[in-house]
Structure 1
Amino acid sequence: MIVCVCNNISDREIRQAVDMGLSTMAELRRDLGVATCCGKCAPCAKEVLTEHLAVQVNETVLKRPVFTE
């Protein structure tokens, strides 16, 4: 889905940027141009950013194995 219409930035591109190490809206603005024109995409971009950061945290948390008898 296109998040930033002005700069044609999709949610996939935002997630890829997060995978490459971006973690703030300021970094998304700097590197992708998100929310640099009209700014209407900022809430949606922030939501995509926040959700994907949460997914990354959940994937990196080591879980204890469960042993069944």
Structure 2
Amino acid sequence: MIVCSCNALSHQDIEIAIHNGASRPAEIYSARKCKAKCGNCVPGIVCLLRSALQKAQSEQTHLNAA
């Protein structure tokens, strides 16, 4: 799914950037060598970013408890 039509940034691009260490929207754009233009995508990117970070934190907590 395209999240940012200005930069043709897909949810997969965002997931890859997060997997490679991005933890802020600017780092996601930087990973694709672009930047926010109109800004309509930023809330969606933040939502995907939060979900991914929460999932990673939950998985780490689960691993530490085991």
TM interval, short-chain normalised:
0.7 to 0.9
The structure that is helix-richer by fraction is 2
Structure 1's unaligned 5+ residue stretches are: 65-69
Residue aligning to 1:4: 4
Q: Percent identity?
A: 32
Query: How many residue pairs get matched?
Result: 63
Deviation sequence 1:6-47 (CA, Å, 0-9, x none)? 11111111111111111011212322325x211110100110
Q: 1:59: how far off?
A: 1.2
Q: Does 1:58 align with 2:66?
A: no
C-alpha RMSD over aligned residues = 1.4
Tell me which structure has the larger Cα radius of gyration: 1
Runs of 4+ aligned structure 1 residues displaced above 2 Å come to 29-34
TM-score (ref. length: structure 1): 0.78
